[in-house]
Amino acid sequence: MQSNRRYIILGLWMLFLLIPIYWMINMSLRPNQEILSVFSLWPRELTLQNYFTVFTSDSWYPSYINSTLYVFLNVVISLAVALPAAYAFSRYNFLGDKHLFFWLLTNIMAPPAVFLLPFFQLYQSVGLFDTHFAVAFAHTLFTVPLAVWILEGFMSGVPKEIDETAYLDGYSWPRFFITIFLPLIRSGVGVTAFFCFMFSWVELLLARTLTSVDAKPIGVAMTQTESASGFDWGLLAAAGVVTLIPGALVIWFVRKHIARGFALGRV
């Protein structure tokens, strides 16, 4: 009895989560004239035309590639610099370590809006404005500290005796780190990559400010769909549905660790 009521409440909540998403999918499968003229809970004239446009039109599909590119670049940079740093934080005491760790945290929490104007001028003056690298690098502002914090949490869970035994066995640090330590925290690395991916993928404000044409991300393409005749709702919905797919795919692999990632590796 008791547990049935619990599942009903949870089920209702999931329904609340899924209905708006369903509504967008419903819209994406209908032609725009039908959306504006007939109110319907399901597509009456099922069409894939909107998706066809998104995947073939020059104003749409390059922006997906742009977003994917800078997100990928960002994940690679973040992991490369964060892995050794997180190891240092989890294993050693050094001058200013606690202050440094807190300073990194403030960058995760800082509102991107604060950095808007200087970023705009900085990247323009070094000639990187409107490149994938500019967005990837701007996003390291919060993904690198995030990666350090999450990885440090996971690494602290590995007993120090393992390091010491390996050094006694004559392993050098790089060899130990790559052949022994990394496999031990591989789920942590996966979760970290996922969170870098996620925060770079969902961010719009910096990406919008640092690009104009060549590196335009999908989020910006979506805010520019208004034409003289108003919004093409079907097209907008189809573009939105496509942005859900990468997240929905990767989430399955990290489902058990996602809470730990949000708590910065500390649950």
Partner 1 sequence: MDSKREYQWAWLMVLPVVLVVAFSAIMPLMTVVNYSLQDIFGPDSRFFVGTEWFKEVLRDADLHAALLRQFGFSAAVLAIQIPLGVGLALCMPKKGVWVSVSLVVLALPLLIPWNVVGTIWQIFSRPDIGLSGSLLTNLGIDYNYTGDSVDAWLTVLIMDVWHWTSLVILLCYAGLQAIPDAYYQAARIDGASRWAVFRYIELPKLKGVLLIAVLLRFIFSFRLYAEPFVLTGGGPGNATTFLSQSLATMAIGQFDLGPAAAFSLIYFLIILLFSYIFYLTILNMDRGE
Near partner 1 in 130-149, by CB under 8 A: 137-138, 140-141, 144-145, 148
The residue within the footprint of partner 1, chosen from 65, 76, 91, 167 (CB under 8 A), is: 91
Could you tell me which of 91, 94, 93, 95 has the C-alpha nearest to residue 164?
Answer: 91
Please answer whether residues 138 and 75 qualify as being in contact, where contact means their C-beta atoms are separated by less than 8 angstroms. no
- d(C-alpha 266, C-alpha 259), whole Å: 9
Question: Contact between 247 and partner 1 (CB under 8 A)?
Answer: yes
Per CB under 8 A, the segment of 46-54, 58-66, 99-107, 183-191 that binds partner 1 is 99-107
Q: Is 42 in the site for partner 1 (CB under 8 A)?
A: no
The amino acid that residue 155 corresponds to is: M
Interface segment toward partner 1; rule CB under 8 A; list 43-51, 53-61, 179-187, 195-203: 195-203
Cα gap 79→75, rounded to integer Å: 6
| 224 three-class SS | coil
Q: Which is nearer to partner 1, 25 or 184 (CB)?
A: 25
Stretch of 46-54, 58-66, 184-192, 259-267 contacting partner 1, by CB under 8 A: 259-267
Q: Does 65 bind partner 1 (CB under 8 A)?
A: no
Q: Is 48 or 80 the residue whose CB approaches partner 1 more closely?
A: 80
Distance between CA 267 and CA 128 in Å, rounded?
A: 39
Single residue of 135, 154, 181, 219 touching partner 1 by CB under 8 A: 219
Tokens of 220: 């910006």
Asked if 73 is part of the footprint of partner 1 (rule: CB under 8 A), the reply reads: no
Maximum alpha-carbon separation in the chain: 76
Q: Is 21 in the site for partner 1 (CB under 8 A)?
A: yes
Identify whether the C-beta of residue 260 lies closer than 8 Å to the C-beta of residue 153. Answer: yes
Piece of 9-17, 42-50, 56-64, 181-189 that binds partner 1 (CB under 8 A): 9-17
Using CA atoms, how far apart are residues 90 and 264, in angstroms rounded to an integer?
14
* 49 versus 225: smaller Cβ distance to partner 1: 225
210 by Cβ neighbours in 10 Å (0-12 / 13-18 / 19+) ranks as buried
Give min distance, CB of 228 to partner 1, in A: 18
Closer residue to partner 1, CB minimum distance, 228 or 259 = 259
For residues 111-130, which are near partner 1 according to CB under 8 A? 111-122
Q: Work out which of 48, 65, 76, 80 binds partner 1, going by CB under 8 A.
A: 80
Using the minimum distance from each CB to partner 1, give the nearer residue, 75 or 148.
148
Name the nearest CA neighbour of 70 among 188, 169, 163, 202.
Answer: 202
Does position 170 interact with partner 1 (CB under 8 A)? The reply is no
Write out the binding residues for partner 1, residues 175-194 only, by CB under 8 A.
none
Among 27, 75, 193, 238, binds partner 1 (CB under 8 A): 27
Contact status, residue 211 vs residue 135, Cβ threshold 8 Å: yes
Pairwise CA distance, residues 256 & 253, whole Å:
8
Secondary structure of residue 60 in the 3-state scheme: coil
